Amino acid sequence: MQLWVGLGNPGAKYAATRHNIGFMALDRIADDHGFGPWKSKFQGQISEGRLGSERIVLLKPETFMNNSGQSVRAAADFYKFTVADLTVFHDELDLAPGKCRLKQGGGHAGHNGLRSIHAHLAPEYQRVRLGIGHPGHKDRVAGYVLADFAKAEQEMLDDLMRGLSDGAAALAAGDRQKFLNAVSLRTAPPRSSTGNHPEKAQTAKTQTERPAKPAPDPEDSRSPLEKLKDKFGK
């Protein structure tokens, strides 16, 4: 049995913001894999289901980001979870939009949701780091993470969510590489053999479509007198 936590802020105001990508990930997994309805519990929303042979409890804390650890600790205490059972999905400024990485333990890198979980439990849990990119200057970070994803990012975001859902069972089974491969197949699908060489593809297309030159007329070996006879029917 495992506890998967998605980090975000509650309410419609924050639903589509970059900081709520952890909530989005859990919503997609729950929808795609037939989890039970969301219920209010442990100062958050929980949904239960199975991924392969693993029973998974999904938790979206509603304490606001800075106090996420309160909700996580309440759920962990109730189910007798340890940090070894815990996986946290969160936004990551240091990764390009659409990128996904796994990390086991380590610091919180200034992320307030992780900081709170560190304080209430311990840092040795697994993290699914979901790239949102960086605004370029630290003074712009707060406004950036609390802003909605841009329209131009929607396709990227959907590909990432589909990849997380595709790989969810592998993550539950502890196959980290298979999980990352599933995400990559959605976010960075392999190109065709001519994909890296558009000029070669165009050449091949041109060669295929170019009509064949007509065959030259056979050489006329008749004498002038024979040609005249044929011309005048004599």
Catalytic residues: 19
From the list 137, 83, 136, the residue with the least C-alpha distance to 114 is: 83
Residues ≥6 apart with Cβ < 8 Å to 145: 17, 18, 19, 91, 93, 132
Three-state DSSP state, 164:
helix
Helix (H, G, I), strand (E, B) or coil at 73: helix
Q: Do the strands 54-61 and 44-51 form a parallel or antiparallel pair, or are they unpaired? A: antiparallel
Rounded distance, CA 13 to CA 11, Å? 5
Q: Quickly count: other Cβ atoms within 10 Å of residue 193's Cβ.
A: 9
Radius of gyration of the chain from its Cα atoms, rounded to whole angstroms: 30
